[in-house]
Structure 1
Amino acid sequence: MRRRTLLAVPALGLVPAALLSACSDEPAPGRGDEAPGGSRQDGAVRITYGTDPSQLVALHRPSGASRGVVVVIHGGFWKSAYDHTLGTPLARSLAEQGWTAWNIEYRRVGNGGGTPETFDDVAAAIDALADVDDLDLSTVVTLGHSAGGHLAVWAAGRPDPAVRVTHTISQAGVLDLVASERAGLGGGAAASLLGHTPGPDDAQWDPRQQVPLDVPVWAVHAPDDDTVPFAQATAYVDAATAAGAEATLVEVTGGHFGVIDPSSPAWTAQLEVLDTIG
């Protein structure tokens, strides 16, 4: 039977522009002494893991001992119009709560991304954690919104990682690429990512076709989400639990963007999930 966590909160009515406006002071590119290929500005370290301008990470450390690492993966239907600054408010909140936040950028459709480049970058960004001094990698949580939720769950199941994901949280994630394309989400975004219409031969890229995972998954989603249907979460959790995996539905309200607003009850629910991890 599906495990469900229910949080009833008022709808927030947020829009992407409101979130982007809060993210204007992300560190500028550069190199420095704080980390390999990194520079420090405004409390975060910017680290490069490749030569492409999109192959970068913003590292936010807590002021005290770290509870573990949370890899923040932004959404935007895998399109280059959206970037990692969407994850900056969450990264700051996580650091305030004692977590090390690893806010990653990656090549997207429109700036060199697609299959396999987007997936290669996410894998490389996570594996780059091993190159940072003084990080305890015994707890590594992937946390992704929308298309980033897809990548967060995918990363938890990738074979032979240099850095193993121990837990994953999908925030209104696209967890079934085939159903996403059938519903026309993002104007055919899944087909643009793969370069063809998703199907049964795409199991290596599609979380729904990869169940069961041996990593606990929390699917945080709002029934009032009008961008990625709530059924993306419920169907995934049902399939995963039926296959013997550990998967939990965390039901919130606030639409598609409430889950990435640090002032929202939906974010509080996710911090409570993290409290059970570390």
Structure 2
Amino acid sequence: MERYRRLSREAVAGLPGRSVVYDRERLDVWGAAPGEARPVFVFLHGGYWMALSRHESAFMARSLSDQGVATVVPDYTLAPAATLEEIVRQVRASIAWIHREGRAHGLDPGRIVVGGSSAGGHLTGMLMVDGWQREFGVPDDAVKAAMPFSGLFDIRPITRTYVNDTIGLDLARAAALSPALLPAGRRFPAVVVVAEHDGPGFAEQSRRFRAHWGPAADLMVVPDRDHFDVVLDLAAPGSAVSRALVRLIRSV
């Protein structure tokens, strides 16, 4: 966790940035300035929905800025202060904020790519599925591409773990909040990333979600990485993960 925070501090040092309020929460915008219209990568942090923040989650901002891409890192209210339904609602509201207000901050609302790690991968999946956009006043294609890392896409097993002592799900709610069980009619490009040394459950969930998403998705297994460090490859411009993200962004 300290490495996430240190690399994030180093990445944003000297970058143009601002913190803004959206839906009573905050998000940081890095690597863009008013008058620009940069494509935007929205990164959703992990921590089993109950830890971490935007302050540990901007480690890719400099490498993306060097490629002409802005980074947006939203906070969301952590459990147990918020239900998982409310956390999902907040991250969807962050996309609505970018779509509505982003141009004034140098962001192109027509080129939004989302990603996140672990629980943030789950939240990424909840931005990929159909059916939520109308409530937030955004078009069905507001999100153009996605890169979830080591995501939780069927969260019903969470009901049998210590995490549920904080999250408090039952099976019906868990199913309703599982991207792998929800409609995926508009399948846009996605790269589903998992580490070679990830836990077997995370690896299996990633394989199944790639299959659920269909031929629009690729599965990327990153060698010599584990659940916690695979996402840090986004901070290394020459890494396969970083190159894949830039290709994904440029494809939209």
Task: Map 1:70-219 onto structure 2 (within 5 A).
Answer: 70-79=41-50, 81-110=51-80, 112-129=81-98, 130-132=100-102, 133=104, 134-157=106-129, 158-160=132-134, 161-163=136-138, 164-182=142-160, 184=161, 187-189=162-164, 192-193=166-167, 195-197=168-170, 199-200=171-172, 202-216=174-188, 217-219=190-192
Q: What corresponds to 1:9 in structure 2?
A: none
Deviation at 1:72, TM superposition (A): 1.1
Residue 94 of structure 2 aligns to which amino acid in structure 1? A
Residue 69 of structure 1 aligns to which amino acid in structure 2? V
Identity within the alignment, %: 22
SS of structure 2 residue aligned to 1:252: strand
1:78 touches 1:108 (CA, 8 Å); kept in 2? yes
> What is the distance in 2 between the residues matched to 1:135 and 1:18?
28
Higher relative contact order (CA 8 A, sep 6+): 1
Q: What corresponds to 1:12 in structure 2?
A: none
Residue 210 of structure 1 aligns to which amino acid in structure 2? L
Alignment partner of 1:50 out of 12, 20, 23: 23
- 1:14-36 per-residue CA deviation (whole Å, 9 max, x = no partner) reads xx332223234799xxxxxxxxx
Alignment partner of 2:3 out of 3, 18, 27: 18
Aligned CA-pair RMSD: 2.8
**1:48/1:62 Cα in 2 relative to 1: closer, same or farther (>3 Å)?**
closer
> What is the distance in 2 between the residues matched to 1:131 and 1:276?
22
Could you tell me which runs of 5 or more consecutive residues in structure 2 were left unpaired when the two chains were aligned. none
Per the normalisation by structure 2, the TM-score is 0.81
Count of residues paired in the alignment: 236
> What is the distance in 2 between the residues matched to 1:105 and 1:82?
9
**1:233/1:181 Cα in 2 relative to 1: closer, same or farther (>3 Å)?**
farther
Deviation at 1:124, TM superposition (A): 1.4
> What is the distance in 1 between the residues matched to 2:200 and 2:26?
27
Residue 174 of structure 1 aligns to which amino acid in structure 2? L
Deviation at 1:211, TM superposition (A): 4.1
**1:93/1:26 Cα in 2 relative to 1: closer, same or farther (>3 Å)?**
closer
SS of structure 2 residue aligned to 1:116: helix
> What is the distance in 2 between the residues matched to 1:103 and 1:49?
12
Q: What corresponds to 2:251 in structure 1?
A: 277
- 1:43-92 per-residue CA deviation (whole Å, 9 max, x = no partner) reads 211111133xxx1111013479655121111111101x311122211123
2:19 touches 2:26 (CA, 8 Å); kept in 1? yes
